[in-house]
């Protein structure tokens, strides 16, 4: 059975002092979680979060990683730099990076390979735009984005990767895919991985849903057989909301 994984994606929010306060609150409220718990925070908060989460079940994640080991890449951070700060997970290919920062399926693949080579667990984001869904291209888009991201990894490496299905039209909009839509599209992603890498790999791969997941809709989404967790934006910024999502089965 796949262990669920719920990750907060704080995006560009919180100072170190605010980060510390939130994580200290969570250490008490999520300590009995049955899922893996991750917070993907701005790099300026790594130290504060690492310290506040020390000895707890809350793992540290980043929101991007560069593919080169070092060099003339102003403003970027390498996988080894993240590792050295205690980062274990890294979000790659978030739709906001694809939309605003020129991220492509090629660079998502390069970042994923660099993350895996350094021993980080990538959380690879895939998802269709509103007009792509309305035109009937959802399956093709998510299959292509997923297989391109995984290209060049071994089967064993893919088993340890996390994919987040985030329909772009559901991010930060309050719109959520229905439980059935989310389950169906995640099933499509898993089938594509199965065709290329086999059933063992597809069965091991954890696939999250993201896009306005919150305390109200988490139970229904997590009851779906294909959905192995969530990548949470807005609702991860407040301790009571993130707690309610992480403790969805309590």
**Contact in structure between 25 and 54 (CB atoms under 8 Å):** no
Q: Nearest distance from residue 163's CB to ligand 13P, in Å?
A: 12
Is 166 considered catalytic here? yes
Contact in structure between 108 and 124 (CB atoms under 8 Å):
yes
String of contacts with ligand 13P for each residue 9-48, x by CB under 6 A: x---------------------------------------
CA dihedral 122, 3, 215, 93 (to 10 degrees): 10
Kind of pairing between the strands at 58-62 and 89-92: parallel
229 forms part of the interface with ligand 13P (CB under 6 A)? no
- 189, 142 Cβ separation under 8 angstroms: yes
Of 91 and 188, the one with the shorter C-beta distance to ligand 13P is 91
Site string for ligand 13P, 54-93 (x = CB under 6 A): ----------------------------------------
Per CB under 6 A, does 153 bind ligand 13P?
no
180 is a catalytic site residue: no
- Choice among 66, 94, 96, 103 that is catalytic: 94
CB of 194 to ligand 13P, least distance (A): 25
Pick the closer one to ligand 13P by CB: 126 or 201: 126
- Tracing tokens 């099933």 back to the chain, one arrives at 187
Query: What distance, in Å, lies between the first and last C-alpha atoms of the chain?
Result: 19
Is there binding between residue 231 and ligand 13P (CB under 6 A)? yes
Going residue by residue from 112 to 151, which x/- string records binding to ligand 13P, judged by CB under 6 A?
----------------------------------------
CA 120 to chain centre: 13
Residues in the chain: 250
Nearest in space to 122 (alpha carbons), one of 110, 130, 133? 110
CB 123 within 8 Å of CB 61? yes
Q: Which residues bind ligand 13P (CB under 6 A)?
A: 9, 94, 166, 171-172, 210-213, 231-235
């Amino acid at each position: 059975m796949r262990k669920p994984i719920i990750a907060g994606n704080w995006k560009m929010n919180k100072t170190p002092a605010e980060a510390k306060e939130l994580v200290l609150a969570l250490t008490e409220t999520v300590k009995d979680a049955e899922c893996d718990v991750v917070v993907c925070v701005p790099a300026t908060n790594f130290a504060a979060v690492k310290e506040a989460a020390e000895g707890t079940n809350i793992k540290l994640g980043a929101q991007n990683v560069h593919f080169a080991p070092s060099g003339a890449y102003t403003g970027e951070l390498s996988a080894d730099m993240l590792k050295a700060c205690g980062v274990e997970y890294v979000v790659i290919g978030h739709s906001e990076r694809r939309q605003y920062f020129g991220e492509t399926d090629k660079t998502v693949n390069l970042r994923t390979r660099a993350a895996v080579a350094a021993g980080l667990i990538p959380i690879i984001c895939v998802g269709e735009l509103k007009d792509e869904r309305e035109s009937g291209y959802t399956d093709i888009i998510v299959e292509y984005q997923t297989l391109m991201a995984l290209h060049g990894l071994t089967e064993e490496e893919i088993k340890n990767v996390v994919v987040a299905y985030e329909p772009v039209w559901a991010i930060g909009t309050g719109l959520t895919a229905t439980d059935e839509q989310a389950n169906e599209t995640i099933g499509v992603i898993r089938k594509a991985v199965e065709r290329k890498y086999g059933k063992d790999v597809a069965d091991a791969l954890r696939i999250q849903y993201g896009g306005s997941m919150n305390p109200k809709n988490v139970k229904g989404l997590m009851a779906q057989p294909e959905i192995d967790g969530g990548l949470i934006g807005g609702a991860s910024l407040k301790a009571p909301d993130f707690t309610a999502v992480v403790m969805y089965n309590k």
